[in-house]
Amino acid sequence: MDYDLGFVRVAAAVPLCAAADTRFNGGEIVRLIRESYDNGAGAVVFPELSVTGYSCGDLFFSKTLLDGAYESLGNIAEQTSALDLVSIVGLPVYDGAHLLNCAAVLHKGKLLGVVPKTYIPNYGEFYEGRWFFSGKDAIRNEVTLLGQTVPLRSDLIFDCGRLKIAVEICEDMWASVPPSAFHALHGANVIFNLSATNAVIGKSAYRKMLVKQRSFTSHCGYVFVSAGIGESTTDTLYSGHALIAENGAVLTDEKQSEFESKLFYSEIDLDRLEADRKKHTTFTAALPNAAPYQIVKTDLTAKSPATLSRSVSRFPFVPRAAADKDARMREIYDILALSLAKRLRHTEIKSPVIGVSGGLDSTLALLVSVRAVDILRLPREGVIGVTMPGFGTTDRTLENAKRLMSRLGVTSREIDIKNACIQHFKDIGHDVNVTDVTFENAQARERTQILMDIANQEGGLVIGTGDLSELALGWATYAGDHISMYAVNSGVPKTLVRHLAAWIGDTVLEGDAREVIRDILDTPVSPELLPADAEGKIAQKTEEILGDYALHDFFLYYFIRCGFTPRKILFLAKTAFDGVYEEAYIKNCLKTFFTRFFNHQFKRSCMPDGPKIGSITLSPRADWRMPSDAEARLWLDEQDAQPRG
């Protein structure tokens, strides 16, 4: 099975059900299988006992109902025999001694296997023990249905190439040790759950929590679907709840709300799951204690969809839900400030020393430093902010730096570096009118020297302002702004720096300080190392040179966090930034990203300490180890290959 870019579209079907009418139910199931196939699904799952209806009660003892279920299953298989997708439907199966609550797995008219429910609930309206036995009680591990003898067991994995399917049923998910945990350990990457769960107050949130947890702890896709409003409501209403999750993220959370059949879709990223399983060595820790599984192979050939129905965030480092944003930003702010406070406390230093440029990064470092001394109950005057205007410094940034330091109550110093740099140019024989890399880097190193010397003079600690995005791209002067005594921003990507600074301005600061932050946020990102334009405005704009940081942060996340190929990253970027950037621009930025990322590893190999705040850091002592002379050839060549869809 060639999924190409690693996505498989899955469907959760909630058919309109007629209790005990197996012919009607079978017809709806066939119609929804066809519709899901037409919409590009590779697999579709139906609710628990969907062929008969879950609420049949003592009718499950009737041979007529059981024969009707088998007949309907045969019709489903026959009428979908030309469709290349896996269908999972629920029905009762008799093993010769026990009635079992089962899932039948079908592909192109063939019955691949039957999975019995393991945990049978015996409480409330779910008194299934009256009719059904656990799969553990089955007297044989094979069953003959539709003229085929197939496995009858819970420990089955259906091997569809890269897609590895396993099944559990309703209550199984609620068990302390669910079957899905063992399914995943044995290689299943997408778990399907056929359920019939009631609609009672608060239970929807519990289901969602469980599906998130199961998908996260097992690093898998999890597709859950419950019987819906077509079931009998003699004593309960069934929820019609459909949930699709991937590695702890809920992609689809929908409910049947009308008297009609519903299909809910999303795409599972098999590459993402594989990447996380590779990284988490504890994932297979319990494997030696697990019993052998039976593998059932099938020749599913569905391809990765050309477009995605799931959303792809443009800012993967930034909290998406507004409800979560305040708590997440406060947590990040605290991590940064407490990390710096610990370093200050350990070294018994009371004076963070910061080069304050009036730009975003130094603004965040200053805000964090102020919060750190507040935590330690030290006077804010101990924070030393130094503005160092050079050849490219504009009045706007200089005034914003001064105003912000004044409003925060820190000690402010201004040291003009132009004369020192001119003298240095004379010393090394460099023409001051030649504004090349020597011209730029001399200013960055002069500023670092000043900060280091003031730190020595005042018994202080130089706080680095460079962020994670700049480290990734090597956008720092070696032994200049590349060096500090504690790099507080080194785990914060540029897009998050912007959002965090805005959040601090809106929720922590007051009065004029807020206005200063807003103007800083509106200022173009620039190192200000080249002379301003004729109007005194910033001439050297970083994103005009490198490309937009929104793209570079996007590339960084999917390259480091997920290990994706450049071709897949390009596909995701085109999806996320559709209508924002032309494809040619995205591809050019991607080439810039990989070229600079590989060429500038040597700067990261000797980067200073700094706190990790999320899933990605480029510290050589923590999450990223890479030779400084690794070649980028494979990544640069591969990004030009086009997706086959």
Active site residues: 48, 117, 170
- In 146-184, which ranges are E strands? 148-151, 156-160, 163-169
Residue 291 DSSP code: P
* Rg for the chain, CA atoms, rounded: 30
Look at the alpha carbons of 73, 259, 207, 44 in this order and tell me if their dihedral is positive or negative. Answer: positive
Q: Which residue is it, tokens 């965090």?
A: 500
Instruction: Please name every residue paired with 167 in a beta bridge, in sequence order, or none if there are none.
Output: 192
Do residues 483 and 608 make contact, with C-beta atoms less than 8 angstroms apart?
yes
Do residues 474 and 439 make contact, with C-beta atoms less than 8 angstroms apart?
no
Q: Which residue is it, tokens 């897609």?
A: 163
DSSP3 helix / strand / coil % (the chain, rounded to 5): 40, 20, 40
Residues 168 and 183: their CA atoms lie apart, in Å, by 9
* Geometric angle at alpha carbon 390, from 384 and 391, rounded to 5°: 165
Whole-number Cα distances in Å, 592 to 29, 475, 540, 641: 50, 12, 18, 17
Residues 360 and 440: their CA atoms lie apart, in Å, by 19
User: Token digits for 169?
Assistant: 């049923």
Q: Using alpha carbons, select from 118, 218, 211, 215 the residue that is nearest to residue 168.
A: 118
In degrees and rounded to multiples of 5, residue 56 shows phi and psi of: -75, -15
DSSP-derived 3-state class of residue 133: strand
Residues 626 and 638: their CA atoms lie apart, in Å, by 20
